[in-house]
Structure 1
Amino acid sequence: MAKPKLHPVANDLGDNAKTASVTLLNAALADVMDLTNSVRMAHWTVKGPQFAALHALFETFYDQLGEQTDDVAERIVQLGGTPNGTTQQVGSLTRLAPYDATLRAGLDHVKALKDRYAAFAATTRAAVDASAEAGDADTADLLTGLSRVLDKALWMLEAHLEA
């Protein structure tokens, strides 16, 4: 990934920390936007005996992800970066596997979302460590909060899959 161009801001973090964090945050932004769209797809198309519960759960998930998306994008701007948030950018930058748009059965959606949440949670934890190592405690804290949101949703998804 190319080094991001930074715009002048009064934030006193060093340029290396800003560059590292903007890069990490833009990667997370693509993933969180992609995951949000996957959850919306599941919300719109879920079928089966658990429809009502899953439809409501998925709505809760994409509302939570929307809040996280805004925090990530705003932190990028605070550090002098530009969020890579267009549909085209997200599609080309996401690290998540493509979501199967043909899924309908509730537990099929749950399994697919579980895998995506787990993958994103892992890269988010790595980004927490990398931003802390770069000297940006605030970005590490923001990503830690995102990690907690992802882990809680992952737990809820896994609970649906246990026999």
Structure 2
Amino acid sequence: MTAVQAVQPQTEFYPTRIDLASDIRTQVVIILSQTLASSLDLKTQTKQAHWNVKGMDFIQLHELFDDMAGELEEFVDMVAERITALGAIAKGTARVAAKASILPEYPLDAVSGKEHLIALADRYAAYGKHIREAIDKTDAAGDADTADLYTEMSRAIDKRLWFLEAHLVG
């Protein structure tokens, strides 16, 4: 995996009545911002698989990958809205995502269902690890609500990884 460029730390917060101290919000926004970038990246990589998969399982995988991308879009929105609820700016452009994602680039020459399944399983595993680490970090920082958001995401990502890996057995 290539070195990850850190998301620029938030330097200014909008006024808010939320009862989390600014140092807690700063820590959590940095974590959430990397998640936002990685979520956007994983969504577009999943769409890459959706658009380009070929083979005997085409329709099954085409539909699965589209469902997975839709679920990731919901996570993107949840994470971005949590950032703004904490009084920060959600930085969610493609350029920001490309620079700050924890994920490696998708193999653009992947065509077969198996190639896409392997590529996505690798990325979902890395993303799931990031999400579990974020549960611990945001909880330790004192933001149980964000830790709960990450817990919800973790369950869904683990389920999707199971779906991907189930196709690869046998």
Same fold per TM (> 0.5)?
yes
Across the aligned residues of Structure 1 and Structure 2, the Cα RMSD in angstroms comes to: 0.8
1:4 and 2:4 are equivalent in the alignment: no
In structure 2, C-alpha distance between the alignment counterparts of 1:72 and 1:45, rounded to whole Å: 28
Structure 1: gaps of 5 or more residues: none
Q: Which consecutive aligned stretches of 4+ in structure 1 deviate over 3 angstroms post-superposition?
A: none
AA partner of residue 61 (structure 1): M
Where 2:108 maps in the other structure, the secondary structure is coil
Mean alpha-carbon deviation: is it higher for 118-127 or for 1-10? 1-10
AA partner of residue 59 (structure 1): D
AA partner of residue 79 (structure 2): V
Alignment correspondent of 1:143: 150
- Counterparts of 1:7-156 in structure 2, within 5 Å, are 7-156=14-163
1:158 and 2:162 are equivalent in the alignment: no
Q: 1:3 Cα shift?
A: 2.9
In structure 2, C-alpha distance between the alignment counterparts of 1:60 and 1:133, rounded to whole Å: 33
Q: TM-score normalised to the size of structure 2?
A: 0.94
Q: What is the percentage of aligned positions where both structures have the same residue?
A: 42
In structure 2, C-alpha distance between the alignment counterparts of 1:47 and 1:137, rounded to whole Å: 43
Q: 1:7 Cα shift?
A: 1.8
Structure 2: gaps of 5 or more residues: 1-5
Q: TM-score normalised to the size of structure 1?
A: 0.97
Q: 1:81 Cα shift?
A: 1.1
In structure 1, C-alpha distance between the alignment counterparts of 2:80 and 2:29, rounded to whole Å: 9
In structure 2, C-alpha distance between the alignment counterparts of 1:59 and 1:37, rounded to whole Å: 10
In structure 2, C-alpha distance between the alignment counterparts of 1:121 and 1:104, rounded to whole Å: 24
Alignment correspondent of 2:3: none
In structure 2, C-alpha distance between the alignment counterparts of 1:56 and 1:118, rounded to whole Å: 20
AA partner of residue 138 (structure 1): D
In structure 2, C-alpha distance between the alignment counterparts of 1:39 and 1:22, rounded to whole Å: 25
AA partner of residue 21 (structure 1): V
AA partner of residue 160 (structure 2): A
